[in-house]
């Protein structure tokens, strides 16, 4: 399912590259660092809250291991912003069970320096997704680097077992809704979900499988309907269309099979055809990127909006 037809290859490169890192650096740094990731964090006062969180979540030993690891490390200021948002006073108000998936959501396997990063999705070590699937983060590289909306403020703090990139915001594991929000390539979908008042429903436990139309897919729909955008469609028109893109369960690419699949739009099924490495929905919509795993489900990107009969 992860293979693409040649005419759609440009789309993945521009929008949803699966495999965010163009290459992973090996231990080819001219200077061998003496401190591991945890020791490096301990030695820097701006990471004192991060160190306390790692200790409380019992992750110190793991991050002192061989790795290598890439850690997007929130500063004390980033944690204090999170505490304000959560209405808590500090780490003492959060349990190890709450902290562990959040902290692992900042860790990627491999020693990935800034020169190795490209726009796309990356698996974290946070396996709190449905079926213990690993949650992904969306990394956007332009003149700077963002990770699920958090800015990398200092890159390439090297350690003996990996590398640290300093960030200004704690990366909360994303739901399917937040994954769409974090990626500008789904901005029209987000507008539609908000207008149809479905954000809360799709942020629920689920799990859900969302066939998510790209901005280009919506642009094709607007042309076909003779409208200028989401503003010209009512919530009543959008709701059945959006629900028609959602299937119950966390169905990953390897689990997709040909057949008629019921959607959350009552009485309406999607016709799925799997041929070799490609997947087509209702005969005209291609799956162009797969397995964007969230906390409450998974997203597969499509290039044409699906319309229920």
Domain ranges of the chain: 17-167, 183-302
- In terms of Cα–Cα distance, which of 255, 295, 291 is closest to 274? 255
* SS3 annotation, 196-233: CCCHHHHCCCCCEEEEEECHHHHHHHHHHHCCCCHHHC
Q: Which helix (H) or strand (E) holds 242?
A: helix 235-243
| Mean pLDDT, all residues of the chain | 91
In the predicted model, what is the mean pLDDT of residues 54-59?
Answer: 98
pLDDT at 88: 96
Q: Measuring CA to CA, how many Å separate 60 from each of 38, 42, 55, 240?
A: 7, 11, 6, 48
Q: What is the pLDDT of residue 25?
A: 47
Q: How many residues does the chain have?
A: 309
Residue 49 tokens read as 């809250």
**Please, what CATH class does the domain formed by 17-167 belong to?**
mainly beta
Residue 134: helix, strand or coil by DSSP? Answer: coil
pLDDT at 31: 55
Selected residue with higher pLDDT from 33 and 110: 110
Say yes or no: do domains 17-167 and 183-302 share a fold: yes
Counting beta carbons within 10 angstroms of the beta carbon of residue 33, is it exposed (0 to 12), middle (13 to 18) or buried (19 or more)? middle
- Which DSSP string corresponds to the chain? -----GGGHHHHHHT--BS-BS----S--SS--SS-HHHHHHTSGGGHHHHHHHHHTT-HHHHTSS--EEEEEE-HHHHHHHHHHHT-SSGGGS-HHHHHHHHHTTEEES---GGGB-SEEEE-S---SGGGPPPEEEEEESSSEEETTEEEEEEEEEETTEEEEEESS--PPP-HHHHHHH-GGGHHHHHHHHHTT-HHHHTSS--EEEEEE-HHHHHHHHHHHT--SGGGS-HHHHHHHHHTTEEES---GGG--SEEEE-SSTT-EEEEEEETTEEEETTTEEEEEEEEEETTEEEEEESS-----
Q: Which tops the pLDDT comparison, 173 or 276? A: 173
Q: Which CATH number fits domain 183-302: 3.10.129.10, 2.30.180.10, 2.40.70.10, 3.10.580.10?
A: 2.30.180.10
Residue-wise pLDDT for 89-119, tens only, equals: 999 999 999 999 999 999 999 999 999 999 9
User: How far is Cα 100 from Cα 219, in angstroms, rounded to an integer?
Assistant: 40
pLDDT digits (tens, 9 = 90+) for 248-269: 999 999 999 999 999 999 999 9
Residue percentage of the chain with pLDDT more than 70: 90
Mean pLDDT along residues 134-152 = 96
Give the pLDDT confidence score for residue 22 in this predicted structure. Answer: 44
Contact 241, 307 (CB under 8 A): yes
| Tens of pLDDT, residues 162-209 | 999 999 999 999 999 999 999 999 999 999 999 999 999 999 999 999
Residue 5 confidence (pLDDT): 37
């Amino acid at each position: 399912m992860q293979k693409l037809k040649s005419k759609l290859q440009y789309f993945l490169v521009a929008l949803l590259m699966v495999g965010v890192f163009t290459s992973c650096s090996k231990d080819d740094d001219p200077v061998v660092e003496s401190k591991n990731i945890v020791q490096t964090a301990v030695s820097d006062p701006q990471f004192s809250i991060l160190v306390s969180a790692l200790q409380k979540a019992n992750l110190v030993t793991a991050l002192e291991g061989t790795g290598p690891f890439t850690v997007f490390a929130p500063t004390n200021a980033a944690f204090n912003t999170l505490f304000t948002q959560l209405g808590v006073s500090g780490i003492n108000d959060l349990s190890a069970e709450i902290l562990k998936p959040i902290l692992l959501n900042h860790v990627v396997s491999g020693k990935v320096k800034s020169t190795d990063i490209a726009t796309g999705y990356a698996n974290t070590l946070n396996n709190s997704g449905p079926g213990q699937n690993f949650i992904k983060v969306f990394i956007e590289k332009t003149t700077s680097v963002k990770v699920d909306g958090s800015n990398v403020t200092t890159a390439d703090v090297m350690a003996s077992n990996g590398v640290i990139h300093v960030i200004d915001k704690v990366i909360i594991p994303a739901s399917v809704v937040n994954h769409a929000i974090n990626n500008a390539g789904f901005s029209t979908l987000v507008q539609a979900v908000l207008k149809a008042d479905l954000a809360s429903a799709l942020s629920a436990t689920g799990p859900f499988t969302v066939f998510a139309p790209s901005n280009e897919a919506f642009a094709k729909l607007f042309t076909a309907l003779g409208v200028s955008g989401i503003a010209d469609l009512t919530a009543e028109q959008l709701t059945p269309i959006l629900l028609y893109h959602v299937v119950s369960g966390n169905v990953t690419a390897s689990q997709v099979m040909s057949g008629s699949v019921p959607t959350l739009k009552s009485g309406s099924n999607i016709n799925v055809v799997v041929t070799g490495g490609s997947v087509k929905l209702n005969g005209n919509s291609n799956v162009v990127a797969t397995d964007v795993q969230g906390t409450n489900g998974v997203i597969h990107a499509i290039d044409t909006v699906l319309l229920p009969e």
